[in-house]
Structure formats: structure tokens, C-alpha cells
Amino acid sequence: MNRRPAVFFDRDGVINYDHGSLYRPEDFVWMDGAVEAIRYFNQAGTLVFVITNQSGIARGYYQEADLWKLHAWINEELANHDAHIDAFYYCPHYPETENPLYNRVCDCRKPQPGMIKQALRQWPILMEESFMVGDKPSDVECAQNAGIPGYLFPGGNLFDFLKQVGCVKQ
């Protein structure tokens, strides 16, 4: 199996505007340039993943099934633009919750690299050419913990930002 480069995107604040505890499609608003960025990487043969902390599950704001529906909807919307996300990885854990199903310290909650490591086990990823984009220092730290570059997205147009940092060939 041929290994391919991968881009790991945080979700909230990178591919969509972060309005807190997002789980309903009607509340989802694409970040400017996100669809174009995802399509660009799809066309370049780069695997595209979303890795996202989702403590709202542990806190009881929504269920895992709600998150699955949202992620399916995201890919349905992307399909209208000849784009897709290869896989979504999420961490539902939150060590400060009362819910015993999710109350734990884990290796998947960013800045730990567990979600990236899970993708590595499931996909033929060429780590030497892979990177992560997030909007928080913990996202960049997650990338570093996984041994790949991490870029801190300040907001604005995601595709333009990726051009500026050299991830998109012009």
C-alpha cells in the first residue's frame, strides 16, 4: 500500500467557526477557504483528517450519535464541492466530568497525540510529509507530540493561510 501525506485539521475554529459545543448541522458555518483547502488536498492526493476534542459529549451537551450525524453531514456538504474528509477522529473524554463513561485522562485528548496515532494505525500515512493545522496551542503541541509540524491558524481564510505558510503549492 502506497503511503500518502496527510493533513490533520482541528475542527472548531479551523474548518468551521467555533460557536461552542457544536453538534447540529444548522449551527455549522464553514470557515472561509475551508472547502477550497480540503478540495485542494483531496486533488493533491493528500489524506484529510479531522481531529477534535469533543468534551461536550462528556459534559452531557450532546451524544456521540449527534456528532456522527454532524460529521456525515459535513462530508455530504463537501461532496457537493468534489471534496471529502477521509476520517474524523474525536476525543469524548473530559477528566472533570461526573459521567463515569468519559471521566478519564486519555492519550487522545489533545495535546496528546492519540488521534493522530490512531489514524497512523488505520491509514497508509507518510508522516514525513504530513502536518496539522489548529487554532489553539494545544493543537500545535499535539502535532509536535506526534512528530509532525503544527501550524497555528489565527482565523481568516484557511486556504490563504495555508498558502502563506507554504502548505499549498502556488
Q: What confidence tens digit (pLDDT) does each residue in 23-67 have?
A: 999 999 999 999 999 999 999 999 999 999 998 888 889 998 999
Q: Would residue 70 count as lying in a domain?
A: yes
Q: What is the chain's mean pLDDT, rounded?
A: 94
pTM: 0.94
Residue 115: its pLDDT value, please?
A: 96
Catalytic: 139?
A: no
Residue 109: its pLDDT value, please?
A: 86
Q: Residue 123's pLDDT band (boundaries 50, 70, 90)?
A: very high
Q: Would residue 51 count as lying in a domain?
A: yes
Q: Would residue 170 count as lying in a domain?
A: no
Question: Where are the strands (E) in 33-86, listed by range?
Answer: 47-53
Q: Would residue 96 count as lying in a domain?
A: yes
**Separation in Å, CA 37 to CA 32, 64, 82, 157:** 10, 27, 12, 10
Residue 110: its pLDDT value, please?
A: 94
Number of domains in the chain: 1
Catalytic residue among 10, 86, 135, 139: 10
The enclosing domain of 89 has a CATH number of: 3.40.50.1000
Q: Residue 121's pLDDT band (boundaries 50, 70, 90)?
A: very high
Residue 98: its pLDDT value, please?
A: 79
Please tell me whether the peptide bond between 111 and the residue prior to it is cis, using omega within 30 degrees of 0. Answer: yes
Catalytic: 107?
A: no
Catalytic residue among 12, 86, 135, 139: 12
Q: Would residue 133 count as lying in a domain?
A: yes
Q: Say how many C-beta atoms besides its own lie within 10 A of residue 41's C-beta.
A: 22
Q: Would residue 59 count as lying in a domain?
A: yes
Instruction: Please determine, for residue 100, whether its predicted confidence score (pLDDT) is greater than 80.
Output: no
Residue 43: its pLDDT value, please?
A: 97
Q: Would residue 144 count as lying in a domain?
A: yes
Full residue range of the structural domain in which residue 129 is found: 6-164
Least confident segment among 8-12, 29-33, 83-87, 166-170: 166-170
Q: Would residue 169 count as lying in a domain?
A: no
Q: Does the CA dihedral 137-72-55-29 come out positive or negative?
A: positive
Instruction: Please determine, for residue 144, whether its predicted confidence score (pLDDT) is greater than 90.
Output: yes
